[in-house]
Amino acid sequence: MEPQVTDNVEQSRFEITTDAGLAGFAEYQLRDGGRIAFVHTVIDPAFEGQGLGGKLARAVLDTARERGLGVLPYCPFIRGWIAKHPEYVDLVPADKRAKFDL
């Protein structure tokens, strides 16, 4: 099974699963003004090295774009992923980019 990313609204986190189960998640907080703050990302150590963190990051950022949400990358993993993929920097509001070194 290809890894799947779903929005677990009840727990305010996007989850990535494989045929072996839950592999990780990215916790978020919805903010006023149409913004989503990513606060914590975890990939279970049993799933590390499989590129799942990158798949999760891409999926959550693509979802934010589809929903028209500005991204506040408080989570170091999401922030670092955006820095390595400049095509996503535009999701971070221009007045917040310096705060996140983007």
pLDDT by 10s per residue, the chain, length 102 = 799 999 999 999 999 999 999 999 999 999 999 999 999 999 999 999 999 999 999 999 999 999 999 999 999 999 999 999 999 999 999 999 999 999
- CA 52 to chain centroid, in Å, comes to 12
Which residues have a Cβ under 8 Å from the Cβ of 25 and sit 6 or more positions away? 8, 11, 13, 14, 15, 16, 41, 42, 56
0.75 exceeded by pTM: yes
The pLDDT value given to residue 1: 77
State residue 75's pLDDT score. Answer: 98
